[in-house]
Amino acid sequence: MALSAKGPENALGADWTPESVGFFIQAVLQGSFIFAKAKNGADVARDNLAHLRRYLEMLFPPAVKKE
């Protein structure tokens, strides 16, 4: 999955930019590492990354392959 520089123009009514999505991903990753360290386990990080994946798949639905 790649974000184009056009960003929101590719999605109707989108109010995000490629930069804002990048900042959000980075915040989730860094926050997950902090929580994992504080809780002495990776479960919280795994859960956060699963949530992030679902969010990104909602924002960018997988392309349907044409045969």
Residue 36: inside a domain, yes or no? yes
Number of domains in the chain: 1
Residue 30: inside a domain, yes or no? yes
- Residue 15's pLDDT is 83
Does residue 9 register a pLDDT over 80? no
Radius of gyration of the chain (CA): 15
- Sequence-ordered strand ranges (E) for 1-67: none
pTM, rounded to two decimals: 0.70
Per the structure, the complete domain to which residue 40 belongs is given by 17-59
pLDDT single digits (tens) 15-27 = 888 899 999 999 9
Tokens of 40: 């002495």
- Residue 66's pLDDT is 75
pLDDT single digits (tens) 27-54 = 999 999 999 999 999 999 999 999 999 9
Residue 6: inside a domain, yes or no? no
Whole-angstrom distance, CA of residue 57 vs CA of residue 18 = 15
More confident residue, 8 or 38: 38
The amino acid sitting at 33 is F
Tokens of 1: 């999955």
Residue 12: inside a domain, yes or no? no
CA 19 to chain centre: 12
